[in-house]
Amino acid sequence: MWYNTKAKDILGIQYPILLGPFGGNLSTVALTAAVSNAGGLGGYGAYTMSPQEIFEVDKQIKAATNKPYNINLWVSDHDIPETGLTDEQFNKAKAVFKPYFDEAGIPLPEKPGPFQSRFENQLEVILDVKPKVFSFMFGVPSDDVLEQCRRSGIVTVGAATTLDEAIFLDSKGVDMIIASGFEAGGHRPSFLKDSESSLTGTFVLLQLIKEKVKTPIIAAGGIATGKGIAAALTLGADAAQIGTAFLACDESNALPVHREMLFSDAAKYTTLSRAFTGRLGRGLTSRVAKEILGKEDHILPFPLQTTFIAPLRKAAIDQEKWDMILFWGGQISPILKHTKALELMDSLIEETALYYK
């Protein structure tokens, strides 16, 4: 059967279909459980959460499903230099973004305070609650942490945007590698070179990694149908990870207008931008994203840019100024059809099977 891949055995799932874990409060227990209960692997993005919040959400997921699920963290959770944020950097950002704050009728915020990395404390919770799968991006945990995961029976999954990153992950002994193509919505999880020079497409990246690496591969980016899953499996993937199609479902925590836009003409146009968080990510094209292109040196490092722009995002939502917001979404958005997670899962399973008859 088409679903009898290495992923089935490694992840303990029926179908090699993974829910992309959304950060930024977009993941939900309901969506994670829906995908896991339907035979796939639900995923929950937890990089913005405190250790206690991760502990609580893990308890809720366990109550909602007895099937395997994935919790995702960011190894590198900030880009702030050791010297901190200078007044010069902040003044540059204020100069570029002041017109948008003026348009929204709100004052520029104060300079963001220092940021303390949470990753090490978050890791302690992962090792404590022991999800079936721990996925990570923007780097690789220490050898010691990976060994602790092995001893605890936690499957480790790392994200690569280049062949070099996949080779590095392979050398660390991770259980599976996500081939993350530039078509995908959300942040580009590059960690060996800058994201702008790590923009290989999913199916090219998949073939490159398959040629050089023995670790099983999960294809991610530009996949939203059974046809896409079948194509990924044909090219050597052992599973497909799907993000935008599930983000558009009612069970996600995306704003209603966000989900509506993923089904609108606006979904035909996406942009890679640092303007909204400080890290490169793909979302539906907005006026701000277009106008900030070429001014990346005036953007604060992640996540200070997120903090800085948060009041503007809130005001834009309150005033329905949608062209001032980057709603996450991948290049595959124009072909989305389903608004219910279970219906989407059923469609993915049924359509993939058609290509193996």
Give the tens place of pLDDT for each residue, 293-322: 999 999 999 999 999 999 999 999 999 999
Task: Report pLDDT for 311.
Answer: 97
Kind and range of the H or E run holding 351: helix 341-354
Q: Write the CA distances from 166 to 33, 50, 180, 198, 302, integer angstroms.
A: 29, 29, 10, 12, 24
Task: Report pLDDT for 288.
Answer: 95
Please check whether residue 191 is in contact with residue 178, taking contact to mean a CB–CB distance below 8 angstroms: no
Please give the average per-residue pLDDT across 181-206, as a whole number.
97
Please give the average per-residue pLDDT across 73-87, as a whole number.
94
Q: Is the pLDDT of residue 357 over 80?
A: no
Q: Is the pLDDT of residue 166 over 90?
A: yes
Task: For residue 142, give the amino acid letter.
Answer: S
Q: Write the CA distances from 53 to 33, 59, 82, 130, integer angstroms.
A: 17, 10, 28, 15
Q: How many whole angstroms from its chain centre is CA 5?
A: 23
| pLDDT band, very low/low/confident/very high, at 159 (cuts 50, 70, 90) | very high
Task: Report pLDDT for 114.
Answer: 86
Q: Write the CA distances from 223 to 19, 27, 270, integer angstroms.
A: 11, 19, 15
d(Cα 267, Cα 285) in Å, to the nearest integer?
8
Task: For residue 229, give the amino acid letter.
Answer: I
Mean pLDDT of the residues in the chain: 97
d(Cα 20, Cα 17) in Å, to the nearest integer?
10
Please give the average per-residue pLDDT across 289-295, as a whole number.
93
Task: Report pLDDT for 142.
Answer: 97
Please give the average per-residue pLDDT across 193-197, as a whole number.
95
| β-bridge partners, 270 | 284
Beta pairing, strands 281-284 & 186-187:
antiparallel
Please give the average per-residue pLDDT across 34-41, as a whole number.
98
**Tokens representing residue 255 in the block:** 């704003």
Q: Is the pLDDT of residue 229 over 80?
A: yes
**Tokens representing residue 154 in the block:** 């936690």
Sheet of strand 155-160: strand arrangement: 17-19, 239-242, 217-220, 176-180, 155-160, 133-137, 69-74, 42-45
State the DSSP string of 231-290. Answer: HHHHTT-SEEEE-HHHHTSTTS-S-HHHHHHHTSGGGG-EEEESTTTSS-EEEE--HHHH
> Which candidate, 141, 79, 105, 152, places its Cα nearest to that of 306?
79
Please check whether residue 322 is in contact with residue 223, taking contact to mean a CB–CB distance below 8 angstroms: no
d(Cα 175, Cα 200) in Å, to the nearest integer?
22
| pLDDT band, very low/low/confident/very high, at 31 (cuts 50, 70, 90) | very high
| pLDDT band, very low/low/confident/very high, at 330 (cuts 50, 70, 90) | very high
* Domains located in the chain, CATH noted: 6-80+116-254+334-354 (3.20.20.70)
Q: What's this model's pTM, rounded to 2 decimal places?
A: 0.96
Task: Report pLDDT for 113.
Answer: 86
Q: What percent of the chain clears pLDDT 70, i.e. is strictly above it? A: 100
Q: Is the pLDDT of residue 56 over 90?
A: yes
Task: For residue 187, give the amino acid letter.
Answer: H
3-class DSSP assignment, residue 202: helix
Please check whether residue 306 is in contact with residue 214, taking contact to mean a CB–CB distance below 8 angstroms: no
| pLDDT band, very low/low/confident/very high, at 144 (cuts 50, 70, 90) | very high
Beta strands in the chain (DSSP E): 17-19, 42-45, 69-74, 133-137, 155-160, 176-180, 186-187, 217-220, 239-242, 270-273, 281-284
Q: Is the pLDDT of residue 356 over 90?
A: no
Task: Report pLDDT for 223.
Answer: 98
Give ∠ CA 177-180-182 in degrees, rounded to 5.
Answer: 165
Task: Report pLDDT for 207.
Answer: 98
Please check whether residue 170 is in contact with residue 214, taking contact to mean a CB–CB distance below 8 angstroms: yes
